[in-house]
Amino acid sequence: MAVSSNQKTGFHARSNSFPSRPNPIITQLDEHLCRSRTSEGASTSSSLGGKLSSLQDLHDCVNKLLLLPLTQQAIAQENNGKWVDELLDGSLQVLDLCNTAKDALLQTKECVYELQSILRRKGCREVGLTSEVKKYLTWRKIVNKAIHKALKGMQNKDNFSTSNGDHETTTIFNMIKEVEVVSLKELHSLLSFISGPKAKTTGWSLVSKLVHHKKVAYADEETDINEFSKVDAALLALVDQNTSRSDKIKGVQSHLESLELCIQDLESGLECLFRNLIKNRVSLLNILNHY
């Protein structure tokens, strides 16, 4: 969910052109937004954790901004207007995407726990292990389908109306809008990370391809793939009946442990962010209902 250079420049110019001594909360929010514009780069579990923390800071500033009388008056004056509709729509989109990410992590975590339990019980001796691996990969396919549906629904959602309001009102609304755009972009990156580069073929189709590809193992292990993709690749190697399983069992268990830790970190960040998002939406609705 990229933000165009015109949008970035426009938001930055307006926020910097605020009165010479703006409220400290507005200054703090602008500083967080400036940092978010420079936080590009490859997505890793650690970088995504940092981005989730940054989003929490952004939305914490937004909540403080919504408590300012100036902000409340500006929103109340625009009540029933296109700007307010866009803010409400944008906050709901961010909440929906955050909830999709939470659900995806929860479902994957449950599958990981079940697979870990089965591996401990069955080891590499029982044929039934293959069906359990297929079950995990099928669940991954279901999760990825939900992710792709959510991401598709976010396309072309970063265009906003222009304003005829006064300078202060324009600045406040545009800063909140940019926070929503940044949030959608970062959550988009997180969901793409969860689905992994193999999302389009994960599931039964990948399992069936194993019959024709004996060398699916750890060739990608040293490359820049994430914890979700490493588990997928290791499981595909595990169900290759033509090679020994004992070493692969250890490798799968190691990857599952890494994925479990990754999910725990991301879940913690998402839960804090989700609470902030709920708080901000409630504050926004309270302003509209009481002014």
- Angle of helix 246-290 relative to helix 227-238, nearest 10 degrees? 140
Measured CA to CA, the distance from residue 267 to residue 175 in angstroms comes to 27
Query: Is 17 domain-assigned?
Result: yes
- Whole-prediction pTM value? 0.79
Measured CA to CA, the distance from residue 65 to residue 23 in angstroms comes to 9
Which stretches in the chain have pLDDT values below 50? 1-19, 198-224
Q: Give the count of domains, the chain.
A: 1
Per-residue b or e along 88-121, where b marks 16 or more CB atoms closer than 10 Å to that residue's CB? eebbebbbebbebbbebbeebbebbeebbebbee
The pLDDT of residue 233 is 86
Query: Is 108 domain-assigned?
Result: yes
The pLDDT of residue 227 is 92
The pLDDT of residue 37 is 78
Query: Is 123 domain-assigned?
Result: yes
What sign results for the dihedral spanned by CA atoms 135, 136, 139, 145?
Answer: negative
The pLDDT of residue 214 is 32
Query: Is 200 domain-assigned?
Result: yes
N- to C-terminal Cα separation, the chain: 34
The pLDDT of residue 243 is 54
The pLDDT of residue 242 is 52
The pLDDT of residue 199 is 40
Contacts of 192 (CB under 8 A, 6+ apart): 43, 147, 151
Q: How far is CA 259 from the centre of its chain?
A: 16
Write out the residue range of the structural domain in which residue 144 sits. Answer: 5-158+170-290
Q: pLDDT tens, 50-99?
A: 999 999 999 999 999 999 998 998 888 887 678 888 899 999 999 999 99
Task: Describe the chain by its helix, strand, coil percentages, rounded to 5.
Answer: 75, 0, 25
Contacts of 255 (CB under 8 A, 6+ apart): 227, 230, 231, 234
- Write the secondary structure of 57-95 as one string of H (helix), E (strand) and C (coil): HHHHHHHHHHCCHHHHHHHHHCCCCHHHHHHHHHHHHHH
Query: Is 164 domain-assigned?
Result: no
Query: Is 165 domain-assigned?
Result: no
> Considering only CA atoms, which of 72, 79, 84 is closest in space to residue 23?
72
Query: Is 115 domain-assigned?
Result: yes
